[in-house]
Structure 1
């Protein structure tokens, strides 16, 4: 069964460069492109969309809190109506660049603190789902399975795609270990490769306490700012191929 490989891209800002977008676009099947609130700028958004379109990589809007200084990794208590408006704003901006490149935005994924908050906060999850449904009910929502975001998306009539992570560690609850805690990110590339293959082949992940939990996913993420991200995705692709699994996008 094929599995989608996605990465967070377009997170450079002005003279500040983060990650190797071009190299990752040769390897992933879906690109979560920053929309300018937590990272990214118009020039970067346009460039990444153009290169994703050239390579047939699906474009997703990675929407976040308005928090450039904190890279979107700080929770913000925002009114749901305001959050809906800000998600619509980000989604519309990226879709303009995608269409200018001959493609379009096909899905939406929250970033960082918004991603984790929407997993358990029904208000913020509902605000995201309302924004996506208002712009285009054909758009998919990418996020943690068995989350408030999944419930909100399905409740709004949106298709939801379950996502797992190669480079992040898991709690026994199925949630990610918070980035502020030690061991939240795999420092051993082979551990991340093994976790990606475990997710793709068996639909399970081993939590930090050794518990094996069921996590049925259609897409596996590697963060573009993870050290040696390009090497990591290349090894994941090679190992998946050895297991007879071909990476393929989750949407047309």
Structure 2
């Protein structure tokens, strides 16, 4: 006859587990002998090994008692159901692993390759990693909202980088974000460049074309990314408003004040 410690060791579980099985009624608890100890015989060992095997296989403790009492057909059916559930869980975990691998692998598995190439081009012209992080997050939102159109916009984005003012804008914004100080001269230069580019786009009809497919929520989310990227964004917007413009993703001319 075995003590509880010997029983646990024989079945490959802890004493604490045996006591828990007693508490939930899964393993009968023997009476104490004359010396005050509980002694376990062979049936308890067999029962405990079955409980441990089912628990290790992923069977919920609440179902083990019914399975141990079931006939062969019911037991096989229950095992088949557990196997199906485990296969579903394995599939879910594999999907999760692939998603994690995508994040670890970098932009190329999070965004389409043409967008990755555009981000690489921004890096080449001198955009800082903080600016690139903001651009990347913006493109993730854009690709999610307009998956069938986003790649059609990339050639024009590359073409815009031929404008030295836009290149300068990225470099100025990068310089601003790489320092904790508020450099008002750089902020004014950035505001001036943004307004110049917006006025040129307006003259060419580009602003109206960009607004053809209106989605105020998506544009608001994109603008929120810019506002959240740096605490000096509000000062930059203030300087732009002084020049009659507002907005980031969809810049708009402010109405002239009434006289």
Q: Same fold (TM over 0.5)?
A: no
In terms of fraction of residues, the more strand-rich structure is 1
Scaled by the length of structure 1, the TM-score of the pair is 0.24
- Point out which structure has higher relative CO (alpha carbons under 8 A, 6+ apart): 1
* Higher radius of gyration, 1 or 2: 2
More helix by share: 2
